Amino acid sequence: MSRTYSAIATESVRTRLDELLARAEAGDHEGYRAVMTELGRDLGRALAAQLPARERLLVVCTVEDADFLTRGLIEAVAPQVAPADIVLACFWNGRRKLGSRRPIDVAPIISRYLEPLGAMQIGTVVVTKSIIRGGCVVRTNLSEILDVVQPRRIVVAAPVMLKGAREGLSAEFPRHVSKKFEYLYLAEDTVRENDEVRPGVGGSVYQLLGLGDQNSKNRHRPKIIAERNQQAASPAG
Amino acid sequence: MFDKATLLRHGATRSDLRHLEHRRLGGETGGAGYRYQGHFAAVAMLRAAAEYTDSGQDAEITQEVLCWVDDVLVRTGVAKFYQLKISPLESWGRARRKLAKEFERQHRLCRSANVTHSLHLVTPHKNRVAHFNAKAPASFRTVFSAEHFPLQRLRPQYWAAGGAANTAVRRLCAVDADSAAERDEVAARLISIWEDCGTPSDPQLVSAVLTKAWADPEVPIRRPNAPTPPRWSAVTAAASRVPGLALLLRDGFVCWEFRRPGGAKESGRIGASDSDAVARVIARVLARPPSDFDDFWREL
């Protein structure tokens, strides 16, 4: 296995990454979701340790990552950041390869959910993604967000990254934006076969999470959206 | 635009033709200058597409034209010839007036062939624009202008921020011109169609590119003559019974918006107004009018 671990990947985190692969192998959607949520907590704890007091956080995710990886990360930063200071943006992305002469990858935003940004500045934007491979989805969603907010920091948080993906993603943005990028990850893989990173997160994340293919995952509504809106609507929220 | 016989008829020698052919092949082999030219041509196509969408004025775009000012040609009623120079040292007098002579020959050729034309020099160095305009030789000054076009590494950087490309792509977006993702998608779709139409030196009509883009019901591009979907008033009324929900028709594309009481906003797109996806959603919403947003989501 050609995998290296980051400094924040403790023994227990490494075991969890192995467990994720085992759940993928077993086709255990519930187990896979639970481990992915735990990995989100691992990333969230590492992020919380770096956040200054009274930081406002905008968490940007895709529909497939919302209820698991992103939920875990939000739960883990909660002791450091007040719930009202966490803003969630969720995107439902399609994937298309356009053209044949010089194919262009696009990840159009089919639907979006954005909580009010409020008057106070967003200090940190965190983009969560179960795996960073080509960066097309992250680039699309981040570009969309950076049109409306100008954070001090931009954190790209993922359990697994493909080697070279960081450089590729940074190169997609102008220097004044990419110099704000920080990459928070647990493992880095070097092998890519048939568009899949090996061992990566064990395969196609939508399917492993039990959300079906690209079309069915884009019909899914994450529970976290309803929960957050219920909290916002309740007197205590 | 000009074939070899035309060039010979209007003063070119056989040696000139060999030189022009050689230069054209050199241009197609790559390098930073060629990438800059490709970006400029792509942006020219997007600008022409926005113009066609707004006013119906068609344009034909060609790269590597067989003539003296040969990088990019945009033909509307006027043939606009563009020469791109990325070197900051470029000037009219450099290399024994090479650039000036090429523009002079191009002007003579167009006049002789009775082609209504303008000539343009494009540079990524803003401070060189005034120099090229002020020092342009009198023989072609009346048809000449220099233009600034920034040197970017990646194409989307042209329409990410302000500038002519950003303005053009905004004019092409149907749903939300403020969305960077939509601008990217619309531009990428048009460029991929344009590139698939032929080699850069094949003349491409912008109307043909747009016709192909309009045929893709998923692309949120403005469709000026798109029909209003059948039973539109009924379906918008049914959707609007859900507080905060609106079904919208924007320049031939159907989308929706939902504002939650707490301030969170959701939005999404369905498809071109005459697409199967829109017809399906209309049929479902009218058959089972939604009582809340979750009901509506299920019908999408």
Could you give all domains of chain A from N- to C-terminal order, each with its CATH number?
3-229 (3.40.50.2020)
| Nearest-by-Cβ selection for B262 from A107, A111, A232 | A232
Query: Measured in Å, how far apart are chain A's first and last C-alpha atoms?
Result: 46
Q: Nearest CA to CA, how far is A98 from chain B (Å)?
A: 6
Kindly tell me if the per-residue pLDDT of B25 is higher than 90. no
pLDDT in tens, B136-172: 999 999 999 999 999 988 888 888 877 889 999 999 9
Three-point CA angle A157, A158, A164, nearest 5°: 100
Q: Does pLDDT of B27 surpass 70? A: no
Please report, as a single letter, which amino acid is at residue B107. H
Q: Tell me chain B's radius of gyration from C-alpha atoms.
A: 24
Whole-number percent of chain B with pLDDT over 90: 80
pLDDT at B278 over 80: yes
Nearest Cβ partner for A110 among B188, B192, B268: B268
Are B133 and B141 a contacting pair, CB within 8 Å?
no
- C-alpha count within 13 angstroms, C-beta hemisphere, residue B175: 29
Yes or no: say if A174 and A184 are a contact pair by the CB < 8 Å rule. Answer: no
pTM: 0.92
Q: List chain B domain ranges.
A: 4-214, 232-299
Q: Please tell me the distance in Å from A176's CA to the nearest CA on chain B.
A: 13
Q: Test A143 with B181 for CB contact under 8 angstroms.
A: yes
**Below-70 pLDDT ranges, chain A:** 1, 235-237
Test A233 with B262 for CB contact under 8 angstroms.
yes
Mean pLDDT of the B180-202 span: 92
pLDDT of A237 reads 47
Q: Would you give the distance in Å from CA B288 to the centre of its chain? A: 42
Q: How close is the nearest chain B Cα to the Cα of A135, in Å?
A: 14
- Quickly list DSSP for B233-257: HHHHHHHHTSTTEEEEEETTEEEEE
Per-residue pLDDT at B28: 52
**Tens-place pLDDT, residues B253-271:** 999 999 998 889 999 999 9
Tell me what the pLDDT averaged over chain B comes to. 93
pLDDT band at B200 (very low <50, low <70, confident <90, very high): confident
The interface predicted TM-score of the complex, written ipTM, equals 0.93
Alpha helices in chain A, H assignment, sequence order = 11-26, 29-48, 63-65, 71-77, 136-146, 165-171, 175-178, 205-208, 214-217, 223-233
pLDDT at residue B31 tops 90: no
- Counting residues of chain B whose pLDDT is more than 70, the rounded percentage is 98
Asked if pLDDT for residue B26 goes beyond 70, the answer is: no
**Euclidean distance between CA atoms A217 and A207, whole angstroms:** 9
Query: Where is average pLDDT lowest: A30-44, B7-21, B271-285?
Result: B7-21
User: Among partner residues A98, A143, A147, which is closest to B192 by beta-carbon distance?
Assistant: A98
